[in-house]
Amino acid sequence: MKKLVALILAVLMVFGTLTVVTAEGGKNIPELTKEPLEILLWDIATEGVGRKAQEDAVARFMADYPNIHVTQVHKQNDTYKQDLQIGFSAKEGQPDMYIHWGGGPMAEYYKSGCANDITELFNTYDHPDFIDAAIAQSTYDGKVLAIPFGGLSGCDIFYNKQIFADLGIEVPQTITELEAACDKLIENGYVPFALANLPRWTGSMYYMYLVARHSGNAEFDAAYDGTGSFTSPAFIYAGNKIQDWVKKGYFNEGFNSMAPDNNDDRALLIQGVAAMMLHGSWQVAGVKNDDEEFYNNNLGVFRFPIDEEAQAAGVPQNVEIGTAIGNGFSFNCWLDAEHTQVDEEKLKACYVMATQYYNDDTYNAIQVEGGNTPSIKGYENVDDPNNKVVIDVFFSASNVQLWYDQYLPASVTEVHKDMMGELFGLNKTPEEVGQAQDEAMKAAREE
């Protein structure tokens, strides 16, 4: 009996020291205030795995720092950007820590004084070993502005393996082969691509990929900074291809009134009406949730085929579209309403919460369980065959171009999306579409 007690005590002591080591010695994190502190946090975790993971993270943080209280407000995804803007328009009640998708809006928040520059914290203290693309997408103008926590998303073509096998279609490697496959599908009564283009960022995926395959990042970057134009060859090529595909019936009827939020496009794929769908990699989990049988028997994924002519001309064919951060947290901690003095204590607390509680092993385990891949090194190996394709494509990319509709400034994004509607609706020529985007981009640069 005595021995047992001694053993237990010994074990406890060992664990005790271990805990001390991890809490103080092992990690280089800022010491947080002992005073009571209130943090207002806005996220969009209204349901599902994300909500559990995020509420747990906040609970763990508050358990370790009982003097700090975090109020977590779950906002609706669809109206979140507007809510946030209205929040920022008020003198008081602004969130101290909030989710966003990076890109143009993140820059806008920073320029408007609603996002703290955390470069120094990021370089001084511990944080997860994020992949480079994630850090790049959390950075604007050389300043780190966000901590990623949502996981990465690629953009790939989902297809019905059964239909491909029945018609003897091989997974296309080039755009020419893709077109041949589409023609064969139409001959046999299938819709080649399921598309729900009401919000128009879905149509934008085709445009982005065709531009990327034709010119890598070169022409988009040039159009963005004004040295080039949205009417340069790759954009015209992409516009013409899309309009050609629309005319040939590569997309389902009525795509302009269908919404991906209602999964109208996914339904066409699962019902076997459409054979393919270019979409974000969250569809892996989406299809699995909708119809596990279809997922196991029919669903396959392949990367957007290469442009063989461009490849011959030396254009890299591994620029991929997607997001390396998914969601990021930015911080809005200030001592005064005019946002001139940083509230260092609060900022440190937010930083610790975002890097050590969100993004910790417990959090990431829930993420992986839910089919997400954290933007952290070491999570490249996944078992699911479809997820594996997505991750492999993502990690072999020479560059990951963030979705245009998140990368561009907010005013240009709306024009870009409008133009995608016009392009797919055959109302405007690729030249006109390019000119409209050039004008918006020029106006945004002048601001």
Partner 1 sequence: MAKLHGMAKRDARSTRIAATVFLFPAVALLIIYMVYPIFDTFRISSLKWNGFYTSEKINVGFDNWVELLHDELFWISFLHNIILMVCSILIQIPLGMALATFLDAGGRKFNIFKILWFLPYLMSSVAVGFLFYYLLATNGGLISGVASLFAGKRSLVDLLGKSPHALYAVIGVVAWQYTPFYMVYFIAGYSNIDTSLYEAAVIDGANRRQYIFKVAIPLLGPIFKTACTMSLIGSLKYFDLIWNMTQGGPNHGTELMATYMYKTSFQKFNMGYGSAIAGGMFILITVIALLFTKVFVVKEDY
In contact, 96 and 346? CB cutoff 8 Å = yes
Q: Do residues 88 and 312 touch, judged by C-beta distance below 8 A?
A: no
Positions 350 through 369 that interact with partner 1 (CB under 8 A)? none
Q: DSSP string covering 119-138, please?
A: HHHHHHS----B-HHHHHHT
Which of 39, 42, 93 minimizes the C-alpha distance to 337? 93
Binding test (CB under 8 A) with partner 1, winner from 59, 86, 313, 335: 86
Q: Are 167 and 182 in contact (CB under 8 A)?
A: no
**CA nearest neighbour of 269 among 246, 251, 243:** 251
Of the residues 112, 124, 173, 396, which one makes contact with partner 1 according to CB under 8 A: 112
> Would you count residue 198 as binding partner 1 (CB under 8 A)?
yes
Q: Does 264 bind partner 1 (CB under 8 A)?
A: yes
* Integer Cα distance of 190 and 167 in angstroms: 11
Tell me which stretch binds partner 1 (CB under 8 A): 24-32, 176-184, 259-267, 395-403.
Answer: 259-267
Amino acid letter at 173? Q
Reading the block at residue 239, the tokens are 């516009």
Shortest distance, position 94 Cβ to partner 1, whole Å: 8
Q: Which of 282, 425, 432, 435 binds partner 1 (CB under 8 A)?
A: 425
Q: Does 111 bind partner 1 (CB under 8 A)?
A: yes
At closest approach, how far in Å is the CB of 420 from partner 1? 10
Rule CB under 8 A: say whether 247 interacts with partner 1: no
257 binds partner 1 (CB under 8 A): yes
51 belongs to the binding site for partner 1 (CB under 8 A): no
- Which residues have a Cβ under 8 Å from the Cβ of 249 and sit 6 or more positions away? 186, 191, 192
CB of 13 to partner 1, least distance (A): 52
Site for partner 1 in 113-152 (CB under 8 A): 113-114
User: Tokens standing for 92?
Assistant: 């008081």
92 contact partners, CB below 8 Å, separation of at least 6 = 337
Minimum CB distance to partner 1, residue 282 (Å): 21
Question: Rounded to whole angstroms, what are the CA distances from 273 to 167, 194, 426?
Answer: 14, 8, 23
Based on the shown chain and the rule CB under 8 A, indicate whether residue 255 belongs to the binding site for partner 1.
yes
421 contributes a contact to partner 1 by CB under 8 A: yes
- With binding defined as CB under 8 A, does residue 226 bind partner 1? no
Is position 341 an interface residue for partner 1 (rule: CB under 8 A)?
Answer: no
Among 51, 60, 74, 81, binds partner 1 (CB under 8 A): 81
Q: How far is the CB of 25 from partner 1 (least distance, A)?
A: 40
**Distance (Å, rounded) from C-alpha 367 to C-alpha 384?**
14
Tokens (6 digits) for 420: 């995608």
446 contact partners, CB below 8 Å, separation of at least 6: none
Residue numbers of the site for partner 1 (CB under 8 A)?
81-82, 85-86, 88-91, 94, 105, 108-109, 111-114, 198-200, 252-259, 262, 264, 267-268, 273, 337-339, 410-411, 413-414, 418, 421-422, 425, 427
